[in-house]
Structure 1
Amino acid sequence: MTSSADLRPDRGGRTLAVTKGHGTQNDFVLIADLDGSLDLTPHLVRGLTDRRAGVGGDGVIRLVASSALAAGAASLVEDPAARWFMDYRNADGSVAEMCGNGVRVVARFAERLGLWDGTAELVLGTRAGVRRVRREPAADDADDADDWYAVDMGPWHLPGGQAAVVAGMDAEVVVAGLAVTRPALSVDLGNPHTVLALADVDELTSVDLTRAPTVTPTPAHGTNVELVVPLGETTTPDGEVVGQVRMRVHERGVGETMSCGTGACAAALAVRTWAGAGAPDTWTVQVPGGMVRVRVLDGGHVELAGPAVLVADVVVDLDALS
């Protein structure tokens, strides 16, 4: 087993030890900078995430003591148990509030480092508030038999309020490959999302997400755009009704990714809103990188569950990064 010291940044030279991980193929470069002494610049983030000249990833996650970052102070006020902070950066170097797939992956990373034993909840600080993670058995129909990680993603809301619920939309989106502008619903999970429904899987497959969709009104800080196809409902052997959707996503600061955790939550919550009274509280969301589960919790919270995988430990030559 690799020790935490082995995975910390090398302060003595121009190398940096990192770990590569993913959650449903939403992939990250993970850094254990426990004392917060690494200068994680946008240039370094872009170099690490470069898929040809770097390690490659949709973003960089630095695991750091909450007390070592100004952004971590709010987490400690919210819950003093949030000793560790998830410092997330998009692939373009911009700072993001949090990432649902990334929370699960960084939880597994904390296990690897010996910072969490996987039994009690891991209390983790993020810029979107404290998140709590627990281990649980994988879903019966999951491709991977390894344990899943379930995250209380905190509160969610519809920025458009009741008017958006009644209208079913509060935005319009232009997507390459779709002939007409589509209505969409804004969903906030600590980071912004705009969700639009498509008619079928063929239409979902045909869209071009190499170009960023155009959202009107233009969100002040950008938005992730989820394209979803409702797939109906199933009933589990114990009688629970579970909704199903398929999704693709264009993430701000990244482009199309194989999965987006907060985006999966936004997609399920939007379809649940459109379905109206009696809609399921539990949803499976199929993304290009696999499957996750979204569950509406009491108190206005939502939970995300799915796999988390660490695939490699890498020592990066910083001088070789472009």
Structure 2
Amino acid sequence: MRFTKMHGAGNDFVVLDLRGALPAPTPEVCARLGDRHFGVGCDQILTIEPPRNAGSIAAYRIWNADGSASGQCGNGARCVAAWLVRDGAAPADAGFAIESPAGVHPVQHDGEGGFVIDMGAPRFAPADIPLAGVDGERDEYALQIDGDTLRFGAASMGNPHAVIEVADVDAADVARIGPALQAHAMFPASVNVGFAQVLAPDHLRLRVFERGVGETLACGSGACAAVAVLARQGRVPKDADIAVALPGGTLRIRHDTAADTLFMGGPATFVFEGNLPDANRLEENTA
């Protein structure tokens, strides 16, 4: 099986073409592929599959480096779009639509070699995120973590996000707070934890500790969630084009409140191509 190694602002992927008769990778194979010493190395595996809805070019699924499935990946969506254009399955000069597990996403070329993805509406209802033990939708929630009160906003972008505003992302205790929130009973499906610093009304810095991966160089859905949560809290303007600087690069996010959808723009980069050994051998090597 051939694979393509790609990244979007440093968030890196192994892309597999499953449009033929090939089965989806098992969690063991995903974990092996994601291993940076014994596999290819990546944050997520993206599987390109036949479309499920008329009008879509293709569908894709997302598997974290630990083998768990994910519902959304914004940087992965741009890489899938670029892969489909290079493959000839999607037009190089017009828009098209692709499908994640979270729904259908219209895609546009940005004129600079990247793509703008319609990421859909942020959802704030506790049942949609999901949040447990919460009696209603709020702009901000609070938890006790190791004796400290932690305040955060929460939203779903097809996957759960907690967004914590910090004074300095470089000083944020990502390695402690990220796992603690992910393991908390308030997040029954775990959570992606974003640490956001507001530099200006149109400029954020962001670090994200992702489910099933750990801290990544970029998180597209996390950037969308950060803008949505901070706009809801009045910390950044609505309907503005906001630059979100992550460790691996900068994404452009705009929340179109009239259409209630978030647009995410950024790069999609090809790194290298390769051939996978037999999947059974990968599973054997994992044991």
Q: For the superposition of Structure 1 and Structure 2, which TM-score range results when normalised by the shorter chain?
A: 0.7 to 0.9
Deviations 1:165-221 (A, max 9, x none): 5xx41243748xxx83311111111111011111224433x5435961326552221
Task: Name the counterpart of 1:69.
Answer: none
Name the CA distance, whole Å, in 1 between partners of 2:169 and 2:193. Answer: 17
**How has the CA–CA distance of structure 1 residues 227 and 32 changed in structure 2, closer, same or farther, with 3 Å as cutoff?**
same
Matched, 1:172 2:132: no
| Residue identity in the other structure for 2:106 | R
TM-score (norm 1): 0.78
1:110 matched to 2:98: no
Distance 2:21 2:198 in 1: 43
CA displacement, residues 80-123 of structure 1 (integer Å, 9 cap, x when unaligned): 11141111111111111120000000111111211112222221
Contact 2:238 2:255 in 1 (8 A): no
Q: Tell me: CA distance 1:193–1:201, structure 2 relative to 1, closer, same or farther (3 Å).
A: closer
Aligned mate of 2:268, from 294, 308, 318? 308
Q: Secondary structure at the match of 2:70?
A: coil
Confirm or deny that 1:61 pairs with 2:46: yes
Instruction: Choose from 138, 148, 154 the match for 2:114.
Output: 148
| Letter aligned with residue 86 of structure 1 | Y
When normalised by structure 2's length, the TM-score is 0.87
Q: Using the alignment, how far apart are the partners of 1:127 and 1:160 within structure 2?
A: 20
- Structure 2, unmatched stretches of 5+, are 128-135
Aligned partner of 1:58: which letter? D
What does residue 131 of structure 2 align with? none
Instruction: Write out aligned runs for 1:62-81 (5 A).
Output: 62-66=47-51, 72=52, 76=53, 80-81=54-55
2:4 maps to 1:33: no
Cα drift, residue 255 of structure 1: 0.9
Aligned residue among 254, 258, 263 for 2:213:
254
Aligned positions, number: 273
Question: Which of these residues, 285, 288, 294, is aligned with residue 247 of structure 2?
Answer: 288
Whichever residue aligns with residue 194 of structure 1, its letter is: A
* Aligned CA distance change for structure 1 residues 41 and 195 (closer, same or farther; 3 Å): same
**Aligned CA distance change for structure 1 residues 308 and 191 (closer, same or farther; 3 Å):** same
**SS of structure 1 residue aligned to 2:28:** helix
Structure-2 change in CA distance of 1:279 and 1:38 (3 Å): closer
After the TM superposition, which residues 1-322 of structure 1 pair with which residues of structure 2 at under 5 Å, given as runs? 16-66=1-51, 72=52, 76=53, 80-138=54-112, 147-160=113-126, 164-165=137-138, 168-172=139-143, 174=145, 180-204=148-172, 207-208=174-175, 212-214=179-181, 218-233=186-201, 243-275=202-234, 279=238, 281-297=240-256, 298-318=258-278, 319=281, 321-322=285-286
CA distance in 2, matches of 1:173, 1:57: 33
Work out the CA distance in 2 between the residues paired with 1:224 and 1:43. Answer: 22
Change (3 A) 1:292 1:173: farther
**Structure 1 residues 219 and 199: alpha-carbon distance in aligned structure 2, compared to 1, 3 A threshold:** same
Letter matched to residue 172 of structure 1: L
The answer (yes or no) to whether the contact 1:20–1:311 under 8 Å persists in 2 is yes
% identical aligned pairs: 30
Max radius of gyration: which structure?
A: 1
RMSD between aligned alpha carbons?
A: 2.4
User: Would the aligned equivalents of 1:171 and 1:217 in 2 still touch at CA under 8 Å?
Assistant: no
2:93 & 2:176 partners in 1: Cα distance? 40
